[in-house]
Structure 1
Amino acid sequence: MPDIEYPRLNTLSTGLRCRCPRCGQGPLLKGFLTIREACPACGLDYGFAEPADGPAFFGMSLVGVLGMVLFMWFEFSAHPPIWVHLVVTMPLLVLGCLGVLRPLKGWLVSEQYIHKAAPPEFESIGGHGEGSKWR
């Protein structure tokens, strides 16, 4: 059976929709943040996918900057007591961070697929070992 040629898909589109980076049809995640073993539509093995803490970092950075702008605007325009921030602002920041985790994880996995990410392989060229004048 010949291999099927898949067109290169937009990583932003497939990632934000949490779809397979190869076919764009199958779901990428099962549950909230768990990556599937393989795509149910095209069979792509998701063994390459390891976004680590990237989604959390980008999510907190994005929501943190936008959240602080809105927090400062609210603080300087309405001057609410601190309990209002604890009841309104903090839950909004938490929900914002949780809301962007799935799309950011999907986007990072799509980028890893397109750029053929692999685990790093280190090789010593001997600059600090054999042949060094310092013994």
Structure 2
Amino acid sequence: MSGAAGARRSPRTKLPDESQAQKGQPPIWRAALFATCPECGAPGLFEGPARFRERCSACGLDFGRYNVGDGPAAFLTLIVGALLIMLALLLDAAVRPPLWVHVILWVPLTLVAVLYGLRVGKAALLASEHQRQAAEGKLSDDGKP
């Protein structure tokens, strides 16, 4: 068999089976939407608007070891920007409000959408890295990855 249907996992892959969820670990979507620790599910993943805490206050998981960075920021800005521009144009075509209505409506909505989306995106990447036990690549003693 070839293709995705016949694909087998590499013996070196250490991904957990989906049927074997570890006790206390929330799924990635729940950890992302509610900003919970990917290990124990305790709330309080963020210290600031989009900055992670150093470690979990409940289980002590070190969030600094994960390299999430600002990867979701570019995609999120493009997606949120496109959606909000379309909504603003539709509103303008339908109602023709004055400019100040657009400013009052779209500036705060953009800030909230980008900030919440950034939190969800970063939390999803952190939870995914934790679940898959992502780490820096290291060479073994024989020089092979």
TM-score, normalized by the shorter chain, greater than 0.5: yes
Residue 36 (structure 1) aligns with: 53
- What is the TM-score with the length of structure 1 in the denominator? 0.70
1:25 shift after superposition: 1.6
Instruction: Give ranges in structure 2 of 5+ residues lacking alignment.
Output: 1-20, 140-145
Residue 92 (structure 1) aligns with: 109
What letter is aligned with 1:65? A
Identity of aligned residues (%): 33
Instruction: Give ranges in structure 1 of 5+ residues lacking alignment.
Output: 123-135
Q: How does 1:14-25 map to 2 (within 5 A)?
A: 14-25=31-42
- What is the TM-score with the length of structure 2 in the denominator? 0.66
Q: Against the structure 1 CA distance between its residues 27 and 95, is the aligned structure 2 distance closer, same or farther, given a 3 Å change threshold?
A: closer
Contact map agreement 1:14 1:20 (CA 8 A) in 2: yes
Distance in 1 between residues matched to 2:109 and 2:63, nearest whole Å: 33
What letter is aligned with 1:24? G
1:39 shift after superposition: 1.5
1 or 2 for the larger relative contact order (CA 8 Å, sep ≥6)? Answer: 1
Residue 127 (structure 1) aligns with: none
Number of corresponding residues: 118
The runs of at least 4 aligned residues of structure 1 exceeding 6 Å deviation read none
Residue 87 (structure 2) aligns with: 70
Residue 116 (structure 1) aligns with: 133
- Deviations 1:31-59 (Å, cap 9, x if unpaired)? 32222222221222223222211232243
Contact map agreement 1:11 1:21 (CA 8 A) in 2: yes
Q: Against the structure 1 CA distance between its residues 56 and 75, is the aligned structure 2 distance closer, same or farther, given a 3 Å change threshold?
A: same
- Deviations 1:27-84 (Å, cap 9, x if unpaired)? 2222322222222212222232222112322432332232122112112112234443
Aligned alpha-carbon RMSD (Å): 2.6
Contact map agreement 1:25 1:41 (CA 8 A) in 2: yes
- Decide which structure has the larger Cα Rg and report it: 1
